[in-house]
Amino acid sequence: MLLSLSSLSLRPPSPPLLFISPPKPSPSPLRSRPLSLSRRAMASSSNEEDPRLQRIASSIRVIPNFPKPGVMFQDITTTLLDPKAFRDTIDLFVERYREKGITVVAGIEARGFIFGPPIALDIGAKFVPIRKPKKLPGEVISEEYTLEYGTDKIEMHVGAVQPGDRVLVIDDLIATGGTLCAAIKLLERVGAEVVESACVIELPELKGRDKLGDRPLFVLVKAV
Ligand SMILES: O=P(O)(O)OC[C@H]1O[C@H](OP(=O)(O)OP(=O)(O)O)[C@H](O)[C@@H]1O
Ligand SMILES: Nc1ncnc2[nH]cnc12
């Protein structure tokens, strides 16, 4: 069922996570706008109507006005509660990248740490965490990027990625593209080749893809 934002705003706040029932294949009642399947994802899977994509889209919960008013938060924790949807998410990425000679999967904190490691293990690549500032204990290389107000920074251990490494960058979501763009720049600065970036969700309205220029981006579902 689709609910308007005004009717949702009259509801009490979402219950704590422990009280959330596992997602069903039908759309979550919290979702007020549907997620569409990415044409790119459909084109890359053997079957244009790959049922795995629909299940993944349905498993993502959308919470209006979190963490602040006006934001439709795309919550992938409900995908993690659905082992089949989680498995399918990993499999779709693994099927795409298995034969691409990827040597490093770089995951962006925090939600890139959920999807990156199983992909890295399956394709036989190293996993490298790209972290928020002051989290990594060793020597780091940093990249600053601009937010709507102010700046932010991401960091990576020096030596974790070598010149010539073929890197896949993974995150759960691309919004404005600032985070992904900074991660790509960081990796290129150490001489790596960023083969592709991949996210579970894209928010096309925010045009993050444009920020990446001609660098390839693969997504499974688009929030419309
Ligand atoms: O395309 P952008 O506008 O840069 O936004 C996308 C980033 O925002 C979210 O992370 P967030 O910064 O909320 O951090 P978290 O995963 O640690 O909560 C998301 O997981 C991406 O990393
Ligand atoms: N709408 C959104 N949902 C989840 N994570 C986000 N990061 C930036 N925008 C987001």
**Residue tagged active-site, from 111, 131, 155, 209:** 111
User: pLDDT of 23-58, one tens digit each?
Assistant: 334 444 444 456 777 655 554 444 557 899 999 999
Ligand nearest 147 Cα, by number?
1
Listed residues 89, 112, 139: the one ending a domain: 89
- Give the three-class secondary structure for 148: coil
Tokens describing residue 19:
């009280």
Whole-angstrom Cα distance, residue 153 to residue 106? 16
- Which single residue is written with the structure tokens 């601009």? 146
Distance from the alpha carbon of residue 129 to the mean position of ligand 1, in angstroms: 14
Count up the domains in the chain and report the number.
Answer: 2
Is residue 189 located within the same domain as residue 109? yes
- Span 194-219, average pLDDT: 97
Q: 49, 99, 139, 148: which one is catalytic? A: 148
Claim to verify: residue 77 and residue 128 sit in the same structural domain: no
Give a yes or no: residue 15 inside a domain: yes
The residue whose two tokens read 């390839």 is 216
Q: Considering the domain boundaries, does residue 224 fall inside one?
A: no
Higher-scoring residue by pLDDT: 10, 60: 60
Whether residues 206 and 132 share a domain: the answer is yes
In terms of domains, do 105 and 209 share one?
Answer: yes
Residues 131, 204: one domain? Answer: yes
Q: Could you say which ligand is closest to the alpha carbon of residue 73?
A: 2
Is 209 among the domain residues?
Answer: yes
Residue 1 to residue 29: CA distance in whole angstroms: 6
Domain finish residue from 53, 71, 89: 89
Q: What is the pLDDT of residues 139-157, one digit of tens each?
A: 999 999 998 788 999 999 9
Q: Is position 45 within any domain?
A: yes
Average confidence score pLDDT of the chain: 85
Q: Is 188 a catalytic residue?
A: no
User: Which residues approach ligand 2 with their CB closer than 6 A?
Assistant: 71-74, 173, 175, 203
131 shares a domain with 63: no
For ligand 2, pick from 32, 74, 109 the residue to mutate: most ligand atoms within 8 Å of CB.
Answer: 74
Is 167 among the domain residues? yes
The enclosing domain of 194 has a CATH number of: 3.40.50.2020
Do 71 and 123 share a structural domain?
no
Task: pLDDT band for 224, please (50, 70, 90 cuts).
Answer: confident
- From the CA atom positions of the chain, what is the Rg in Å? 18
Interval between CA 171 and ligand 1 midpoint (Å):
8
Verify that 131 and 42 share a domain, yes or no.
Answer: no
> Is the residue at 21 inside a domain?
yes
Residue 144 DSSP symbol = E
94 within domain boundaries: no
Q: Give nearest CA residue, ligand 2 atom 8.
A: 175
Asked if residue 222 is part of any domain, the answer here is no
Domain's final residue, options 89, 114, 129: 89
Does 141 lie in the same domain as 211?
yes
The pLDDT assigned to 51 comes to 92
Q: Which domain holds residue 140?
A: 99-217
CB 46 within 8 A of CB 95: no
Residues 129 and 210 reside in one and the same domain = yes
- Told to judge if 148 belongs to the known catalytic residues of this protein, a careful annotator would answer yes
203 lines ligand 1 (CB under 6 A): no
Say yes or no: 38 and 125 in one domain.
no
Mutate which of 66, 109, 111, 203 for ligand 2 pocket (most atoms within 8 A of beta carbon)? 203
Whether residue 129 sits in one domain with residue 71: no
